[in-house]
Amino acid sequence: MNNEIKKVLFKLEKSGFEAYVVGGYVRDYLLGIESFDVDICTNALPKDIIKVFKIKKGVNNYGSIPLKIGKYNYDITTYRMDGEYINHKPKSIIYVDNLLVDLKRRDFTINALCMNREGKVFDYLDGTKDIQNKIIRTIGYTKKRLSEDPVRILRAIRFAIVLNFELDNDILEYIKNNKEILKGISYTRKKQELEKIFSSKNLGKGLEYLKELDLLDELDIKYDKIVEVSDVLGIWAQIDFDSKYSFTKQSRTMIKQIRIIVNSGKLNNLSLLKYGLYVCLVAGEILGFSKEEINKMDKHMPIHKLSDLKITNDDIMSLLDMNGSPKLRKIYDDVLLNVLNGKLKNNKKIIKKYIIKNWMW
């Protein structure tokens, strides 16, 4: 455990409280995976945590205190048990003074491991054994745990894919018989979990897994063969997804542009001018172009934006004594394409001579 994390634990202990690193960081530590998100559980109440760390901002909706210290993102929570679940969320949280009670409310055994300041791991629910056996298993009764919050189904699948584990039979059986409850998950949460799968080195397994479990309709996505690429927008561009999935305006535009290039099967100077280097790199990876190839193409572009072209529509209209018309667009596009392809030098005099020779009729 990093010394910086130890200092955070020590600060709570020095103030008279218990404190443990819990969940994903401990799991990843045992798997040899570096992590910078650290969950800490403690018997200190939120008001005590705020006082210990001299925090000015308040507690979030889940009663946890976020902290950013150095390269680590901490989330400090008081031991608690969940009240009755309504609409897949606990109606209330009840603070307790018992670590085991807190651990038992969590989703999977591999996420219920905890570690003290000396680096000793405490495993009360056989999480270590499940890590060794590479299995995802719920804490307690599977039906109760997954029906409380259907997002846990996606989390289970995501952990299985990202960690290259298997789902235990109880989880598999529950998913097969209750997959329709995934419809109740918000598109925001679906997208969060899917993007973690799409960013995984085991993406191929993940895509097959979702199909094998017959979950595509419930997730409102469709795909056939997907080329694995490094950018998550490149994956979304190959998926037919419901419009309710939320993307920024910029991301949605980029997905559309990537699709246009991929569907055309071509990537050239005009693509780079219209859509930019980033979109072309993503689309190019899908089409089988190397980054070196595209970067070289971009570097040797005669122009990188329309304003670089040494002639304007007004220049063309003045030269040919014409008004705006479909012909004007044809002339401009012809000049642009020839400049981009290196057949015509980007020089105003040369371009004018070309227009007079080829379009003066």
Q: What is the pLDDT of residue 63?
A: 67
Strands 85-86 vs 114-115: parallel, antiparallel or unpaired = unpaired
Output the tens digit of pLDDT for each of the chain's 361 residues.
889 999 999 999 999 999 999 999 999 999 999 999 999 999 999 999 999 998 876 555 556 889 999 899 999 999 998 766 665 566 668 899 999 999 999 999 999 999 999 999 999 999 999 999 999 999 999 999 999 899 999 999 999 999 999 999 999 999 999 999 999 899 999 999 999 999 999 999 999 999 999 999 999 999 998 999 999 999 999 999 999 999 999 999 999 999 999 999 999 999 999 999 999 999 999 999 999 999 999 999 999 999 999 999 999 999 998 887 889 999 999 999 999 999 999 999 999 999 999 988 7
The tokens of 45 are what?
Answer: 């109440």
**Per-residue pLDDT, 57:** 65
For residue 292, give both structure tokens: 């070196």
- Measured CA to CA in angstroms, residue 336 lies from 202, 267, 324, 360 at distances of 43, 16, 17, 17
Give the phi and the psi of residue 272 in degrees, each rounded to 5.
Answer: -65, -40
The Cβ of residue 33 has, within 10 Å, a number of other Cβ atoms equal to 12
Q: Which pLDDT does position 190 carry in this prediction?
A: 96
Map the chain to HEC letters.
CCHHHHHHHHHHHHCCCCEEEECHHHHHHHHCCCCCEEEEEECCCHHHHHHHCCCCCCCCCCCEEEEEECCEEEEEEECEEECCEECCEECCEEECCCHHHHHHCCCEHHHCCEECCCCCEECCCCHHHHHHCCEECECCCHHHHHHHCCHHHHHHHHHHHHCCCEECHHHHHHHHHHHHHHHHCCHHHHHHHHHHHHCCCCHHHHHHHHHHCCCHHHHCEECCCCCCCCCHHHHHCCCEECCCCCCCHHHHHHHHHHHHHHHHCCCCHHHHHHHHHHHHHHHHHHHCCCHHHHHHHHHCCCCCCHHHCCCCHHHHHHHHCCCCCHHHHHHHHHHHHHHHCCCCCCCHHHHHHHHHHHHCC
Global pTM exceeds 0.85: yes
